[in-house]
Chain A
Amino acid sequence: MAEIMTLPPRRSALDSVWVLGDYGIPGPSGPGVTIIRRLGLGAIQLDARRDTAAAVARAVSDSLGIALPAPGRAASGGEFRAIWIGPERWMLLGSDSTGLEARLRAAVEPAGGSVIDQSHGRAILRLSGPRVRDTLAKGTGIDLHPRAFAENTAAQTGLFHLSVTIDRRRGTGTFDVHAMRGFAQSLHESLCEAAAEFGYRLA
Chain B
Amino acid sequence: MIRIPCPHCGPRDHDEFSYVGDATKVRPADPAATSPEDWHRYVYLRDNPRGAHLEYWHHIQGCRAYLKVLRDTATHEVLASGRPEDALEAPR
Contact = CB atoms under 8 A, between A and B. Distances in A.
A and B in direct contact, judged by CB atoms within 8 A = yes
Chain A facing B: main interface SS: strand
B13 A86 contact: no
Given A72-B9, A87-B8, A156-B9, A141 B61 contact: no
Sorting the interface of chain B by its residue count into under 10, 10 to 19, 20 to 34 or 35 or more gives: 10 to 19
B10 A156 contact: no
Given A141-B15, A157-B16, A158-B16, A72 B10 contact: yes
A142 B1 CA distance: 13
Contacts of B10: 72
Contact of B65 (A87, A141, A155, A158): A87
B62 interface: yes
30 contacts: A71-B8, A71-B9, A71-B63, A72-B8, A72-B9, A85-B63, A86-B8, A86-B63, A86-B64, A86-B65, A87-B8, A87-B65, A89-B63, A141-B1, A141-B13, A141-B15, A141-B16, A142-B12, A155-B9, A155-B62, A156-B59, A156-B61, A156-B62, A156-B63, A156-B64, A157-B9, A157-B12, A157-B16, A158-B13, A163-B60
A141 B8 contact: no
A90 to B, nearest CB: 11
B3 to A, nearest CB: 9
Interface residues of A, number: 13
Given A71-B9, A86-B8, A158 B61 contact: yes
B11 to A, nearest CB: 9
A71 B63 CA distance: 9
Contacts of B9: 71-72, 155-157
A137 to B, nearest CB: 13
A163 B13 contact: no
B86 to A, nearest CB: 13
8 smallest beta-carbon distances between A and B, as pairs = A86-B63, A141-B13, A156-B62, A158-B61, A163-B61, A71-B8, A86-B64, A156-B63
- Scoring B13, B63, B65 by chain A CB atoms within 10 A of each residue's CB, the highest score goes to B63
A163 B59 CA distance: 11
A85 B8 CA distance: 10
Most A CB atoms within 10 A — which of B12, B15, B60?
B12
A25 to B, nearest CB: 30
Interface in B44-92: 59-65
A158 to B, nearest CB: 4
Contacts of A71: 8-9, 63
Contacts of A156: 9, 59, 61-64
Interface in A48-94: 71-72, 85-87, 89
